[in-house]
Structure 1
């Protein structure tokens, strides 16, 4: 390890980071286009450290952003991402990267798969756990259809009988249609604000080339009743966002969307469908994904340093929660709730 050197880099523009982000252990969330979309949407400046071997070849990388607002200063790797695994399989390389980051006593939060070398670093403690699901696309459509749960196969047929149709769209209007669905679901089911429409637009702009971003819209009698955004990176198709209209769930539109996403992944030559993070306190969502996925792992949230909030910062957190409760009330028009989300969502990281 004596020949190892660590350099500062911009993970959006540095070609060495792009090489790492296209290699083993990488994911959508450490890809330059994803980091660019997040940072442009929320006004963040990304930072990274890249480890180089004696020949100057990149052998590891670690990226984060510094968030500084009324809630205090903290470091996140990376905000509004399912996970951001350090791009190395070696513990000593990650140690060198974290040393070079010089986070000190600042609070650093990162999410990664439970087998990441970051988990073994004594400076980091586990503060949370979530589920991850994946479906290998190592067979044809018929074989994958046989592998999924029988309940899913029945629901696919039920959606067909009900007249559900799934459109595969790559245009910005479809993104806007999905966002309206997304705002409504988060507001009326969970009493939560939604990410700003600009975030979805930036994702589309970053991934639209070569069909790497599609919006699947399930319709019934001409009405959009469910949808999802699928993104591609490094031969993996990612189910990133999904939403549906609760009163139409008996038509099984979500099953129709999931199955269409799997078929597209096979057609595009992808090796895996990544179904993303599911909080363990949402057993319904975890159970739904298990019907489609044969792989299940754990995503852990790690934290280092301290974050001492001043009384006024704690008060802001309470007020933010109260504002969310008020502005997701059913009496508030969805358009207003969406505009509020665009203003306030950055404070939830």
Structure 2
């Protein structure tokens, strides 16, 4: 008897109207795709990006005999300044193809490359961790790594694992008299005030409140803000996303003038404790360039580098055209750092929504 051939693969590009009807099945598929799955892999991020940034979104789904075997979320980032890009997914550090077999991976990449051509974008960007071999993917960036810390079972073990230097910095922060607030939308104004000031100092346009409001509204039980105050004044803030076994911090800021107080160290200690309280096994500090100051900051907590392979199908120009380390942006960054925070708060969201 000849072997039974595998069922044919069917890949569909669900547009906005059809996505809501597929969220439950896609979420269940993603949830069981790995031992730890970040919240950033949840298909509801497509709704967040549509609501919070105005992106057109697509859910590529591959099925076999009616069962989901692959998923690729995509958002079309478009602006008059920079052009159009198809990304999985903007704002988030990791996403891309979720599939267990090479044939399904190839099917999804091929459909995404075709969609990129149909939408006439400059490039397709897939924010992978492990590379996928496909002829349509003709460029990659591997200069950054994910910094992740395996978490112990309790806060006492966490403290014992810190170096004496880290413990002393946390103690100094504790002596500053800062109050700690956890919450959702009620913390959004203070969170955004700190973020706007910090991003201006870094020379980067800031995301608007609408994005963070959409995140908090979409994930009311799994997204929360940590806000530290000096008196009534917010001085440090972070957004935490609690996934399946892993907590990530995609956005965190502290006011530059508070650097001597070590409030940032105090805040990160609270973030790590919060993840442990939630029963998480891993804390994701986000991506950093190897040997950079942010890399060293994360490494001092015990975080371990993990690969980040952002893959591209470049149709127009080059990948480096839109990277912040491109020399042509250095003068713009210096000018931005001298602008009033009130102006960058107003203009920044209009610019950053068009940056992949």
Q: Which band: TM-score by shorter chain?
A: 0.7 to 0.9
CA distance in 2, matches of 1:279, 1:340: 27
The 5 Å alignment of 1:232-243 reads: 232-243=242-253
Shift of 1:194: 0.6
CA distance in 1, matches of 2:351, 2:223: 26
Compute the TM-score of the two structures, normalised by the length of structure 1. 0.85
Q: What is the DSSP-based 3-state SS (H/G/I as helix, E as strand, rest coil) of the residue aligned with 2:175?
A: helix
CA distance in 2, matches of 1:337, 1:240: 20
Q: 1:325 and 1:11, CA in 2 relative to 1: closer, same or farther beyond 3 A?
A: farther
Deviations 1:211-235 (A, max 9, x none): x222112223443221111121223
Match of 2:352 in 1: 345
**What RMSD, in angstroms, separates the aligned Cα atoms of the two structures?**
2.7
The answer as to 2:164 corresponding to 1:150 is yes
CA contact 2:109–2:134 (8 Å) conserved in 1: no
Match of 1:303 in 2: 312
Shift of 1:303: 0.8
Shift of 1:278: 1.9
The answer as to 2:184 corresponding to 1:171 is yes
CA contact 2:116–2:124 (8 Å) conserved in 1: no
Of residues 188, 203, 209, the one that matches 1:197 is: 209
CA distance in 1, matches of 2:346, 2:185: 19
Shift of 1:300: 1.7
* 263-272 vs 24-33, greater mean Cα deviation: 24-33
The 5 Å alignment of 1:107-186 reads: 107-113=123-129, 115-116=130-131, 118=132, 120-124=133-137, 125-167=139-181, 169-186=182-199
Gaps of 5+ in 1: none
The 5 Å alignment of 1:207-226 reads: 207-208=219-220, 210=221, 212-226=222-236
Match of 1:31 in 2: 42
CA contact 1:111–1:299 (8 Å) conserved in 2: yes
Compute the TM-score of the two structures, normalised by the length of structure 2. 0.84
CA distance in 2, matches of 1:127, 1:214: 30
Gaps of 5+ in 2: 1-5
CA distance in 1, matches of 2:148, 2:187: 25
Deviations 1:52-107 (A, max 9, x none): 233x2212111212334323333111122212131123222100112233246552
